[in-house]
Each structure stands twice: as C-alpha cells, then as structure tokens.
Amino acid sequence: MIRKLVLYLDDHLGAAPFLRQALRKAFPDHWSFMLGELAAYCFIFLVLTGTYLTFFFQPSDAPVQYHGPIASLAGRWMTESYKSALDMSFDNKFALVMRQAHHWAADVFVAAICLHMGRIFFTGAYRKPRELNWYIGITLLMLAMAEGFTGYSLPGDNLSGAGLRIAVGIGQSIPVIGTWIIYLFFHDTFPSGFVSSRLYPLHILFLPMAIAALVTVHVMILWHQKHTQFPGHKQTEHNVVGSPLFPIYAVKSLALMFATFGVLFLMGGLLEINPVWEYGPYTPWVLSSPAQPDWYIGWLEGALRLAPRWAVRLGAHSIGAPFWPGIFMPLCLFVVLYAWPSIEYAFTRDKSDHQLLEFPWQNPGRVAFGVWVVFFVAILLGAGSDDVQAYLWHTPVQSIVWAYRAGVVVLPLLAAAFAYRICLELQARHGEDKPHRVLLRRSPEGGFEEERIATP
Amino acid sequence: MIEKRRRRAEVIAAFWFVVAIGASGVFAASFAAFPNTEALGASLGVAFAAISAALITMSRDLLPHEEVEDPQHPQHSAEDQRESVVRLAEGGMTTIVSRRTWLVRLGVAAATALGIAVLFPLRTFGHSPKGRVGLTNWKKGRRLVKEDGTLVRTDDIPHGGVVTAFPEGFVGPDHLEDMGVDAIVVLHVKTIELQLPKDRASWAPRGYIAYSKICTHLECPLGLYRAQSQELMCPCHQSTFNVLDGGHVVFGPAVRNLPMLPLEIASDGTLQAAGYMSNYVGSDNWDYGATWRRPRERRSG
C-alpha cells in the first residue's frame, strides 16, 4: 500500500525527489523544539472543537426568556447566544466537554505560543536569516489573543459582557477616532444588539483564517530555512543534525498530538472552566467582585488597575487615562518585540547567517531584556487579580495596588540585573571549562610562565 | 539484552493500545448509559493519551534511532544570480513606469480614489456617536423606576439603603442599551453628613442622593457600596467614589468624578429627576474627557 501511495504521488506530482529528501529531513532532538508544534496542535484542536460548537451556538442578541433547567435563571431575559450556550451545556453533556476543552485549549494555545517564543528569543533563534518568522510569530501571538478574546466574549454572560464593555471603554479612549471606531464596530452604543453579529464572523472566520494562513507561511519558511540547532560535537553552522522525519520524528510528533488532545479532553471533562450559567446573562448595571479575564488578557487588566490617572487635556479634547495602559503600553511592547532583531543589529552590526543557537548565558543583554518583559507581564498579570488577593489575605485592595505599583517598576529591573549577573557568572564558569592548550615558557632566569591558549 | 528490552517495550505499547480501546469503549458506552461530562471527557482524554503513550514507547524503544545530517547554506544566492534578478525586476518596473509619468500618476490617483471610495461603506456599519455617547435619557420630571418598571418611592430606601433605578419608560429586555447608560444608584444618607457643593445643595432632598452607576473609568457598574465609608467602588478596577461630596474620586484609575443626578420628591412620595445628569456618563474619550460642562441635552435617535 505504501508502495502504491509513493508511486501514485510520483506519477502525478513527480514527488520522488522531494519525498526522498523530506522523509530523511533532520529534526534536532531537543524538547523545546516541540513547543511550536504544541501550539500548532492546540490550533488544530481549537478548529475541530470550535466547528463542533458552531453546530449548537446561536449567534444572536435577540432577547428571549429562559425556561430551562437552571432554576436560578428561570424567567430571566437573555440573548439567544447566551441561551444557546446554556442549552448546549445542559442538554448535551458532550457539548459541555467540547466547550470546556475548547476554552482550555485557547488558554494552552496562547501559553504554548509564549513558551515557544521564549525559546526562540532566549536562544537567539530569530537572528538572520530567521527574522521573517519572528515577525510572523509575534503577529500570530496577537491574532491568538484577539481570537481568544472574541471567543470568550461570544456567550454573552455577565462576566464577558463586562469585559467587552471595558474593551469598549479602552477603544473610546483612542484619540480622535475612538468613539467612531466603537460606534461603527458595534453599530451603536454597547450593547447594541449587534454584538454577536460583529464578533462571531471575526471569531469563526476572519481570525482563524488569518492564523491558519500565517501558520502555513511560518511552517513553509521553517521547512525551507531548516531548523536551528544547539552547538555540539557534530553540529556546525553548515549542517543540521537530528532524527529523520520518517519514521521516528513523525511518530514522536504524532504522539505529541495525541497527548495534547488527550490532556485537553481530560481538562474539558474534569476541570470546570467559564461556568457561564453562574454569571447570568449580561446585565450592564450588575457586576460583583471578583471579576477576571482569561490569563492572556489578564496582564492588560492588571495594567488598567495599576496605571496612574494620566488624562491629557488638549484644549477642548482629552486623551483618557485608559489609553496609556490599554493601548499605548501594549503597543510599545509589541513594537519593541517586532523591532528586537533590528535593535540587536544596531548593537552587534552582525550581518552573518546563524544556524547555531546561543545558550542564553552567552548573551546577557538579551537575557536581561527578556527577563524584564517576563517579570513585567507576570506582575501585571498578578495585579489583574488583586481583588482576589485582597480577599484571600484580608488586606485592603488599596495597599495591594500600591505594592504592585512599586513592584512593577522595581522588580523587573532587579530581575533583569540579576539575570545579567548570572549570565556573566555562567560565562566565566564555561570559559574555564573550554578545552584549552597551555603554553609553557621558560624565562632566562630558569623560571616558568604559563599561558592559556584557547583552541579555535 | 536488547532483545529483552524490545520485548518489554512491545508489551508496554500493546498495553497502552488496549487501554485506548477500552477507553474508547467506555466513551461510547457512557453516551448511552451515563452521559455525564466527567465520564465523557475523561474516557475520551484517556483514549487519546493512551495512544500517545504507546507511540512514545514505540519511538523510544522500538524504532531505529538514526541520526541524519542535512547541509545548511546561507540563504543568499550567488552574486551574479542575485544581480540578474535585480535587473529583471528593475527592468520590468521601468517598462511600466518610465516615459509615461502622467499615466502612472493617473494610475496612482485612480487607486487612491478607489481606496477612499471603499471606505464609505464603513460608515454604514453603525450610527454616529454624536448626540449619543455619554448621554442618558434623564431629564427633569422623569420618574425613577426599578428594573421591573415599578416606581421608586422614598419608603423603599431605608437609611444606608441603596437601589438601582432607571428612567420611567426605558426599562425591559428591549432597552438593554438604554439601561446600560441610564442606570443610577439611589442612596439614602443622613442630610447632616452631606458635603455637596453649593450649587448642588438642593440635589439630594432629605438625603436621597443619586449617581450614575456607570464607572467613569471603563463603564463597569459600580456594584460595591461600602456603607461605612460612604463610598461606591467598582469591581473591575477598584475606582472608588465618595457619595457624600458629589462623587469625587477617592481611589483608583478613574479621572472624572461620578456624574450626579439631581432628585426631587413628588407629592406622592415617588422620586423623580430634577434635571439632566451633571456630567457625561461613561469612560473618557476624545470629546468629553476634559470637559466638565454639564450636558444640556439627552440621548437622541
């Protein structure tokens, strides 16, 4: 059968030379190289479970009265979207598994992207000639965040409705065109009756298409440029050493896919997430504490809670305070991430191609910046649930906010300095371990001098 | 020795495949017999995970661990090849552009015109924010009702009590959008504790005082009332407003004070608005974040 398949492909596509190379393509053996694959499998899982969910979800803001099995919501008016989210969760137990697995998969998807990006960043894999894939990767991260946000906003529960309205407020703070953007996007004042109509096509059509297209380009570029690799005995700038794609790497990758799907289904079945029936339908005048978004939006929520009250007045106009933490700060962060290869080039002036990765300690400056970003975002994420911490620690939330404000300025800098120092330390240590020759020189007086010569 | 290890791995992989078959059976059976979320999710998850475990065992111990090496080259091509492509591209471009400058300019103008023209459908996506954003349906004489449409009476709100109210005629499932901007909190405080500005001295008759329930930071409803300190707090970003002095920001990221609605008590003991909202409702934007002027209009359209 395999013989027939190969011959068929060669008859119709002349595929033999390609397959000859592809089946033996070298994939470096390091676990961190599978993080990107993990993200890809999450995406496939999201498309499959998401397609299933569209069979049951009714994207409509039309008000309907609830007469279902949830006693606490009996007689309540709600959108058709919210009712269909409830119905699929209660009438069809498997749809609830799929809904929860879909939600978990989104959280894992963005996490996998971030970890993958961390691997790429800290080992310098984005260096020439791989800058294009770095830009595509950051775009994918932003698309994944948007996809997640439009997704968990769809059911029309009170928590996501409040989250959407926060996004509306942030949008309105954009100078000059903010209110127009929001009124054109939602058709009118939020919630306008057009919320589902505007979010649904983005979530199930435009954003996933964009992600799929960019993932395809991402992988094609990877295939063409081949993998980077850590330096080793055989690994050089002129080769790629690893397991062949077929059979061993294909089996490993397939195992990762099954493991991803398995864990996500287990989470979907056993770990409750986003119990929309507990929040009630979106009611713009009701909300209680605590209220948190998903983690990949949580750092922005934290920024909104910590940001100082910087409202800029320009004559009769103003830039509202939410603009700085909600738009300006993330914009700066992503611009710097996009520009990072160029920023590094400005320091190194290094135009050569790099196939060998650096160990993080070999580049303390890069590590310091990366650690700064990780700490900055992580502390903002922590601040995004300061109300829960206030409750748990019986501390006034005001004190916690001030602690976070100090923390978000000081701790990332401290951590970056510390990481820089550790890298230098490691460099010194590894320097000693390097194989070296010793030159002994005898002085005219009869003494000996020792000189270390690094081997090339 | 190696043969023994292979035998062992075969047994382990076989075990996991059997587990996967079993879990698939449980999944199918639970659809019919006990369709609950945990059983369905766990059995399906175990089936997938077991196949994964079998494949991992195979890849570790049963498949040949070969090492292959691919050559790696710099991406750039040979110099003469690059130059010939540059010449091709530049040459092609020149045949389009050169000696027909006026035509090229006209082409750019046409593309620009088309680009601007296709922006016009954007306008049909929604209403203009003018005359809508930040404005409420409150005006003098409009009576306060609760969510269910019943009138708000002074006896409904004891000292330290709080009620959410809307303008009469703008409640119900078809008015979600109005209710989202009109919502106010009515509180009953002690008159002697009030520290209202002079021009608002009459706005809180007998200690009944009303504020917009929509936070001026990012429009979350001010769901938390701390009766002890007489503050309204937002559950989203903890902006806190003093209810005694006209809604000044006490803490948090909000910049503008809470808009206040002047109240009056009708002869039958019902509450009604004595005028417009004191300021624009909702989050700051380009047009009204800086202005403290009182809106002399209500929602249109």
pLDDT given at position A313: 83
Read off the pLDDT of residues B25-66 as tens digits, 9 standing for 90 and up: 999 999 888 889 999 999 999 999 999 999 999 999 999 999
pLDDT given at position B289: 61
Contact: A26, B123; criterion CB under 8 Å: no
The average pLDDT across B103-130 equals: 92
pLDDT given at position B228: 87
Min distance A447 CA to chain B CA atoms (Å) = 49
Q: Residue A331 burial by CB count (10 A; 0-12/13-18/19+): exposed, middle or buried?
A: exposed
Chain B neighbors of A244, CB-CB under 8 A: 66, 68
Of A94, A237, A311, the CB nearest to B255: A311
The average pLDDT across A55-75 equals: 95
Positive or negative, the Cα torsion across A388, A389, A395, A399?
A: negative
- Of 2.102.10.10, 2.40.30.10, 3.40.50.280, 3.40.630.10, the CATH number of B144-300 is 2.102.10.10
Q: Which of residues 171-200 of B touch A (CB under 8 A)?
A: 173-174, 176-177, 179-181, 183
Q: Residue A405 burial by CB count (10 A; 0-12/13-18/19+): exposed, middle or buried?
A: middle
Residue A124 or residue A450, greater confidence = A124
Contact: A184, B122; criterion CB under 8 Å: yes
Among candidate residues A365, A346, A383, A345, the one with its CA nearest the CA of residue A423: A365
pLDDT given at position B97: 80
- B210, pLDDT greater than 90: yes
Mean pLDDT of chain B: 92
Min distance A94 CA to chain B CA atoms (Å) = 6
N-to-C CA span, chain A: 52
Q: Does B144 touch chain A (CB under 8 A)?
A: no
- Residues A177, A196: Cα–Cα separation, whole Å: 23
The average pLDDT across A280-289 equals: 90
Q: Does A287 touch chain B (CB under 8 A)?
A: yes
- Residues B161, B155: Cα–Cα separation, whole Å: 10
Residue A338 or residue A435, greater confidence = A338
Read off the pLDDT of residues A79-105 as tens digits, 9 standing for 90 and up: 999 999 999 999 888 999 999 999 999
The average pLDDT across A439-452 equals: 78
Read off the pLDDT of residues A301-329 as tens digits, 9 standing for 90 and up: 999 999 988 888 887 888 989 999 999 99
The interaxial angle of helices A295-306 and A329-348, nearest 10 deg, is 100
Read off the pLDDT of residues B143-178 as tens digits, 9 standing for 90 and up: 999 999 999 999 999 999 999 999 999 999 999 999
Q: Which of residues 322-351 of A touch B (CB under 8 A)?
A: 322, 325
The average pLDDT across A111-131 equals: 97
Of B55, B126, B282, the CB nearest to A187: B126
- A453, pLDDT greater than 80: no
pLDDT given at position A311: 84
The average pLDDT across A127-145 equals: 97
Backbone dihedral angles phi then psi of residue A40, each to the nearest 5 degrees: -60, -40
Read off the pLDDT of residues B257-294 as tens digits, 9 standing for 90 and up: 999 999 999 999 999 999 999 989 999 888 876 555 55
Quick one: pLDDT band at residue A450, thresholds 50, 70, 90? confident
- Residues A304, A320: Cα–Cα separation, whole Å: 12
pLDDT given at position A7: 97
Do A303 and A401 touch, CB atoms closer than 8 A? no
Residue B274 or residue A452, greater confidence = B274
A271 Cβ neighbours under 8 A, 6+ residues apart: A100, A104
A380 Cβ neighbours under 8 A, 6+ residues apart: A298, A299, A300, A302, A303, A306, A408
- A292, pLDDT greater than 90: no
Q: How far is CA A63 from the centre of its chain?
A: 35
The residue ranges of every structural domain in chain B are 2-64+80-122, 144-300
pTM attached to this predicted model:
0.94
Min distance A51 CA to chain B CA atoms (Å) = 18
pLDDT given at position A446: 78
- B295, pLDDT greater than 90: no
Q: Which of residues 21-80 of B touch A (CB under 8 A)?
A: 31, 35-42, 44-53, 55-56, 58-59, 63-75
Chain A neighbors of B249, CB-CB under 8 A: 309
Quick one: pLDDT band at residue A455, thresholds 50, 70, 90? low
Q: Does B288 touch chain A (CB under 8 A)?
A: yes
B254 Cβ neighbours under 8 A, 6+ residues apart: A309, A321, B215, B216, B217, B234, B237, B239, B241
Quick one: pLDDT band at residue A269, thresholds 50, 70, 90? very high
pLDDT given at position A71: 94
In chain A, what percentage of residues exceed pLDDT 70? 97
Do A395 and A389 touch, CB atoms closer than 8 A? yes
pLDDT given at position B103: 87
Q: What b/e string do you get for B229-248 counting C-beta neighbours within 10 Å, with b at 16 or more?
A: ebbbbbbbbbbbbbbbbbbe
Among candidate residues A420, A402, A400, the one with its CA nearest the CA of residue A412: A420
- Residues A384, B237: Cα–Cα separation, whole Å: 9
Q: Which of residues 64-103 of A touch B (CB under 8 A)?
A: 65, 77, 93-94, 96-97, 100-101
Chain A neighbors of B237, CB-CB under 8 A: 301, 304-305
- Token couple for B177: 């959008």
Contact: A242, B68; criterion CB under 8 Å: yes
Do A311 and A318 touch, CB atoms closer than 8 A? yes
pLDDT given at position B293: 54
Min distance A336 CA to chain B CA atoms (Å) = 26
pLDDT given at position B102: 86
- Residues A294, A104: Cα–Cα separation, whole Å: 10
- A443, pLDDT greater than 70: yes
Contact: B45, A322; criterion CB under 8 Å: no
